[in-house]
Amino acid sequence: MQVSKDIRNIAIIAHVDHGKTTLVDQLLHYSGTFKEHEHIDERAMDSDDIEKERGITILAKNTAINYKDTRINIMDTPGHADFGGEVERIMKMVDGVLLVVDAYEGCMPQTRFVLKKALEQKLQPVVVLNKIDRPNARPDEVVDEVLDLFIELGADDEQLEFPVVYASALQGTSGKEAGEQQETMDPVFETIMDHIPAPKQDVDGPLQYQITLLDYNDYVGRIGIGRIFRGRIKVGDSVSLIKKDDTVKNFRVTKLFGFLGLKRTEIQEAQAGDIVAIAGVEDLNVGETVCDQNHHDPLPVPRIDEPTLQMTFVVNNSPFVGKEGKKVTSRKIEERLLTQLETDVSLRVEPTDSPDAWKVSGRGELHLSILIENMRREGYELQISKPEVIIKEIDGVKCEPMERVQIDVPEEYTGAVMESLGERKGEMRNMENQGNGQVRLEFNVPSRGLIGYSTEFMTQTHGYGIINHSFDQYAPFISGRVGGRRSGVLVAQERGKVTNYSILALEDRGTIFVEPGTEVYEGMIVGEHNRENDLTVNITKEKALTNVRSANKDNTVNIRSTRTLTLEEAIQFLNEDEYCEVTPESVRLRKKILNKSERERDQKRAKKA
């Protein structure tokens, strides 16, 4: 077994918004990988439009930098638990992790999640205490919190001896002590060199290379990105792809790519320990192994946690179908969902009794809403049902997913938060006064109790509360109502344009979702009723113009501002008898049955049943 002294393979893991991607930016900048005239964009690794807009990492990505005589391959991973599938497969590619922790916030739910995955793979950790420049940073306490978390997650003795580097990725400084910051990333690099082991690989054995990420290029087709665990590979080699179903496909390596900085460069040869991209076969998938043709020895497919949430995706059949999107047919939508399956290992797509509907399962609301947002930007129209948690039977017991919830909130709002989570069957695990009037609450809550909760939480805490949660485990099902919307909706009576006059008449009935001039149709939801029942309303009514004075009178009356729902808010708002209609230009809510009389007949039948 040979040790590659000149390579280090690391993943950067952290809770969302603790500064992973900004730290990668600084490592790229200070490594000398770029020439002086080359410009590095802020959050350079977040290449997806939605990633840039939301400031979160969704897809795992890789880069490489040269530090002195060593090539450091870096994997930037998502911090949000909804994209945990991206984190899990990355752990197979690396020998160590940089755990980035905010020097004020400390350990958060996703810190626990990503660290647990790293420790299970027996990876060597380095802790980077980031945002050390914050005036309220508490480095000593946070290091103690991290140590407690390591112990709680069952770290071995070697992992418990983790080194700590203190940094401000935003300022571009780092140091071995909190109060000794230098304008360089050398302390981070040196700690990686000293503590992250070089790959121990058999360079001369038969080829063994596992695909962990996928990419696509118009010229060479599908590209697999992964690590060579054994042997060597060259352009022109004839190799075997061992599929997940154990079938074998022989192909010739047409292209081989290495990574440096933000560029992918063509190379002729690579060996064990290297992270490279390979092209030459069209239907390669995540988890499959490329082997020597005379020595088939596939690596185990990485285990990915199962989805916990599902929605039904339905072909759009509203009166406005095809007005804003070009891709509206069931064939187009099914092709797009199956394409997503090829790269998203945490997603499941199942057919239903209807050829126009599919059960789509994922790791959470954010995971599925990002897929929907991407589809609408690509020109698709579709309808989405209310999210439902996936119930499982474990050892003969009906079980549901539970979430570990951590809340930071001003002291005066703790009572309201505790009461609302109690109604959602939440169980408080811990309550800690953080000082400065801030309280940290920890709960275990059924996942279904958190669907739609974020809007209520922000209202309760007047925007000052911070809520984070991640999947904890499956536990026995809790009977009774858990969460859900308690208010009814205002439903449009007929097709037409919304008028100022009708909105003024309806403002006392609830919150309006549509602006004057908006096109609506019968059965479309135009607002939230301030009572529990649904109310069918005429929101397109014009005022009878009897004389000039009355015609102009309304121009001086101001209507209240309407509430525009984002895609996530619309999905969270849904009830069982409603759809969210998503198009490239609009997000609309509607009743599944548009006609009022038919809805009432259906409700009567449901009560009798």
Binding-site residues for GTP, in ranges, read: 17-22, 130-133
User: From CA 609, how far away is CA 603, in angstroms rounded?
Assistant: 10
User: From CA 289, how far away is CA 224, in angstroms rounded?
Assistant: 10
Enumerate the β-bridge partners of residue 389.
309
End-to-end CA separation in angstroms for the chain: 69
Closest CA to 426 of 386, 363, 478: 478
User: From CA 518, how far away is CA 496, in angstroms rounded?
Assistant: 8
Beta-carbon contacts of residue 159 (< 8 Å; ≥ 6 apart): 119, 122, 124, 125, 150
Q: Which residues are annotated as a binding site?
A: 17-22, 130-133
User: From CA 280, how far away is CA 239, in angstroms rounded?
Assistant: 10
Three-state DSSP string of 359-398: EEEECCHHHHHHHHHHHHHCCECEEECCCEECCEEECCEE
* Contact predicate 233/239, CB 8 Å: yes
Cα separation values, 478 from 22, 391, 423, 446, 484, Å: 41, 11, 12, 8, 15
Q: What share of the chain is helix, strand, coil (3-state, %, to 5)?
A: 25, 35, 40
Name the burial class of residue 430, with classes exposed (0-12), middle (13-18) and buried (19+) by CB atoms within 10 angstroms of its CB: exposed
213 phi and psi angles, rounded to 5 deg:
-130, 160
